[in-house]
Structure 1
């Protein structure tokens, strides 16, 4: 397995010190992996081969972390969350917990991770399993929202052996085979409708919850205290729900209104069950197999920033998230109730912005948003003035208080009018 940190050789590919033991499998070829990200494709890794170069193989990773095949069934690659310091990793689970403090983020999880169940699974150590904790954090947080509102009730079919009475439809074959042939003449198998929480949707959620609990109990090298707290909160609500369910019977229905979280919860539940092959024994193993997957750290950073902005600007609708204007979709628009802050904001998971200027490409993108007439109308802004633009980037040297001060303690981009940037410190864990 080739192991690299994210943003390894970013925009300046570099060699890999252990390449000699893998070069035969690479067979003197270049490799790349990209996934769909909105209307465009974004690369996860590139491997460049040049026989004329002193360093024949050069590697480049971007903002995705995960596990995948370079050469299927022969050579996998593992890209882990990495800061620009040798002993630290981004604590992506803490970032996700923070993101879930803002309920609107539940509507923006598409694209956070991609899982390829069609490819062969890859054997990894449990410490390399970035996907499973991510799925559990999402799943348990969505269950928490569901439990807070109350489990969905609906009509569902019940089959029971009733004594000396009949209810609903008589199941003739079962009654004869299981009762009459055994001399039990007074009992009848019946099928009828009941109304309550023991419906198929809640059964699937309960089954996935049991898989989640079993797996978390066997996790090593991961702080599971917050997950266990969530389990203690949601588990009692499913006490009247069975877990014996055929997931194939779950219809693709879409819940709306107060039950809209069910759509995401059921999607995550099916993913968790599929990952373990519907066999709970698989949750007890230290060395595991995982389908190839990629987690978009730039998307996670955006979710994290939204929660932080809502924490900083707590007024009604002061932060607008991913509103479309003429098919363009800025990350955030700030419009405080007192009218003092009106700006277009973009989250960039680029720590290099601490020392470097913002790239021309990013300047053009954000400035383009800030010149739209519909955004001027939305902010009720005088078109003779320039709307402020702000880039929020990751910076481990940033003072956490900077993000909560009234003026944001912004840094100006000297070459551009009314363009600002500010760094935010990310949670880290020691490797």
Structure 2
């Protein structure tokens, strides 16, 4: 039973559901207690947080095993354009590969009423663009084929083995001595895997077809049917030779299931899911860095050094040499986070990191750069000429980025 002393007059205590923006403070003791008991605590409050401040995960979470209490967390930046962020990240194949770590959808739990369509549109855009980009990369090698079982009443020949049950009913009983009903396997493009991909592709076209042109992809599936049964989705066994298909098929199934959920539930209801906005921002910054520095500098992303230290970016070029970290925090407009400063300063004392720039381990002080989002910024891309020095720190700079928003 809930502790009545913790009850208040807030939205959560009245309705067992509450909506917040990411990184808000939680003032309700009852809600805080429910979050701390929830299996999603590390996502909602952050892995190392024991306070009452929400983390940088957005989405919706059930807080109890009976599915009666939930919390919805919206982006702190109003009208953020997820489509543009996802499209930018997924325009580079080396970012596509790890993009599945950014979000998760739980189809095993009941749907949640999101109260608005902001997050649901974001989920549609995310899953659709992620799938389409992965599909485009896979189609460079052509569509995979697999063995599929076929049954056919053949004329005076045997293929595979005789299906005696059907052969008796269709041929023996009707005195068709010229026919043999056979069951056989054929290595064909119209296999279950490709039928799943085609169905997901058609759904993506209806979700974002006006924005994202997938005409070239659909042309690969001209000989593939999109006929599909629910039991096939739940019982698919992937050919172990097609390991790269595994994530692609998983994405396709998620898209198909998501459409089924939306068609069979109330408006603005969808499965619980989350997006790690901090990681999404990191990938977005990576894409902007590639845009800005292509052919000018080398970017080392998430390279592991001594003691397991892993800076977001090491940028190597005499003009651009620096250790850069993306920080999904707006405080850098007027303030700093001392823990972030210590983190980057620590990277600058590691010999193997310094050796990326020079052999002079004792006297070289690498430049450190913090890249952060700001609604007050006019920088829609990364321009190193617009870096700002951080007061009272040596070789420490910051660079603001304006995230895309809907008009």
The corresponding residue for 2:35 is 31
Distance across 2 between alignment mates of 1:6 and 1:321: 26
C-alpha displacement of 1:320: 1.7
Aligned-partner Cα distance in 1 for 2:166–2:116: 46
Q: Find out whether 1:367 has 2:348 as its counterpart.
A: no
| Structure 1 residue 202: Cα displacement | 1.6
Equivalence map 1:182-331=2 (5 Å): 182-213=174-205, 216=207, 225-227=210-212, 229-230=213-214, 232-245=215-228, 246-247=232-233, 248-251=235-238, 253=240, 255=242, 260=244, 262-276=245-259, 279=260, 282-283=262-263, 287=267, 289-315=269-295, 318-326=298-306, 327-331=308-312
Q: What residue is the counterpart of 1:95 in the other structure?
A: 85
Do the aligned partners of 1:211 and 1:283 also contact (CA within 8 Å) in 2? Answer: no
Gaps of 5+ in 2: 1-16
Aligned residues: CA RMSD = 3.2
Alignment of 1:169-184 (within 5 A): 169-184=161-176
2:238 partner SS: coil
Greater Cα offset, 143-152 or 262-271: 143-152
Partners of 2:191 and 2:153 in 1: CA distance: 19
Query: How many Å apart are 1:139 and its aligned residue?
Result: 1.3
1:117: how far off? 3.2
**Residue number among 62, 66, 70 corresponding to 2:59 in the alignment:** 66
- The Cα of 1:273 is off from its aligned counterpart by 3.4
With over 3 angstroms needed to count, the CA separation of the structure-2 counterparts of 1:239 and 1:420, relative to structure 1, is same
Work out the CA distance in 2 between the residues paired with 1:119 and 1:284.
15
CA distance in 2 between counterparts of 1:78 and 1:408 reads 39
TM-score (norm 2): 0.81
Contact 1:408 1:422 in 2 (8 A): no
Q: Distance in 1 between matches of 2:40 and 2:321?
A: 34
Structure 1, residues 389-411: CA drift from partner, whole Å, max 9, x if none? 1110001222327723xx43211
1:5 corresponds to: 21
1:98 Cα offset (Å) = 0.9
Answer whether contact 1:331 1:345 (CA < 8 A) is retained.
yes
Q: Unpaired runs of 5+ in structure 1?
A: 16-22, 47-57, 217-222
Q: Secondary structure at the match of 2:101?
A: coil
Query: What is the aligned counterpart of 1:415 among 392, 395, 400?
Result: 392
Number of residue pairs the alignment of both structures matches: 378
CA distance in structure 1 between the partners assigned to 2:381 and 2:100 by the alignment: 30
Q: CA deviation at 1:90?
A: 1.6
- Shift of the 169–323 alpha-carbon distance from structure 1 to 2, 3 Å rule, reads farther
* In 2, Cα distance between equivalents of 1:206 and 1:14: 48
